[in-house]
Structure 1
């Protein structure tokens, strides 16, 4: 299994200094930059659109891991691809034909991921696992940062790890929601190899980011 990758969620950054925050987490050792896009419809919150993402794209060479919490999602795939996404992850509930959605993302030359909400079963992946580059397990209900980790998702992470291993393909298994040093360790033990963290990375200001990221890796 690959070493764990840490993807700080800029949803928890100081939006008044967003560019500086992106540079700071890059310098602190982030592997990916996690970009949460929320529409106030699919989830009960609104973040920002492709123009903001495009503005911060030149500030780092790290991959942009873009999680689209919008419905209908298909209308916005091209815009986020053009704005600099490296991987685009979508929810199966966000459009009528998720297989076609994944095909579209791949056709744009981007890595494609599928996101499973806490109540969405691992079985949803049965006819998608051979197409995707990443599976994102939500360990909170999407829409807000700062929520507590839902322990029942550990069993799902382990089940998806077994599914991935059976494919023989290099598929990332990412977890997002309530990730701190303790839950990060349990996610890694269950089979996760990428972790999204917002509050746990951005607490304490830029001087603390490197230590925060190290703690999530288990090096703190």
Structure 2
């Protein structure tokens, strides 16, 4: 299975975010991760569909919208209309996950279910039948630059085994604290899509850093 790298622009320099996104694309990024927070479900406020629409006009890569907001069903159509190709919602925040995932797919986007570090993987077992991807959080959602929770490696392996047991073809995405020193480990543990924020944007050379991380992913896959 192809392994994908998704720079998370939450960690970017918003004065120069367009240039930084272009640098990541030149470095080989596969999609753009777009974090949406409302200050209620998580303790931070970020950006909405209007900003996404401006990025969409200039970027051909898929945009992965991670909705960390209350009542996401209300806003999903706006994000898809703005240009989101992937849309994910939290199992902790959606009472009717089958309905929501089906709704996202009906709108023409890939549907993802997200799970926080403190939530048992059993909570998403049924959702694997309906999701195009699962996003495993390896930090508590809300802020960029947090430290990777080491237990996440074991959770990745368990999630991969669950997917295989259910004969699901959903992708496994991981987000939070991924850097040069652990990106190979998460790929070997089962991640198909790796979200990297400060591990790219804290560098003075986002293009070169993106290229380096892609090489590390490739090397880990080839083992």
State TM-score, norm by structure 1: 0.93
Instruction: Return the offset for 1:219.
Output: 5.1
Query: Which residues of 2 match residues 185-196 of structure 1 at below 5 A?
Result: 185-196=184-195
RMSD of equivalent CA atoms? 1.7
The alpha-carbon deviation at position 207 of structure 1 amounts to 4.9
Q: Can you list the C-alpha shifts for 1:91-143, whole angstroms capped at 9, x where unaligned?
A: 01223322211111111111000001001111012211110000110000000
The 8 Å contact of residues 180 and 213 in structure 2, kept in 1 or not, is answered as no
The alpha-carbon distance between structure 1 residues 201 and 216, as it changes in their structure 2 partners (threshold 3 A), is farther
Mean CA deviation greater in 116-125 or 205-214: 205-214
Query: How many angstroms does 1:216 deviate by?
Result: 4.5
Q: How many residues align?
A: 219
**Structure 1 contact 7–197 (Cα < 8 Å) conserved:** yes
Gaps of 5+ in 2: none
State the alpha-carbon separation in 2 of the partners of residues 23 and 76 from structure 1. 27
Match of 1:142 in 2: 141
| Structure 2 partner of 1:5 | 4
Structure 1 counterpart SS, 2:158: helix
- Closer, same or farther: CA 35–216 of 1 in aligned 2, 3 Å: farther
Distance 2:36 2:176 in 1: 15
Report the TM-score when normalising by structure 2. 0.92
- The answer to whether the Cα contact below 8 Å between 1:28 and 1:209 also exists between their aligned partners in 2 is yes
- Worse-matched range after superposition: 29-38 or 176-185: 176-185
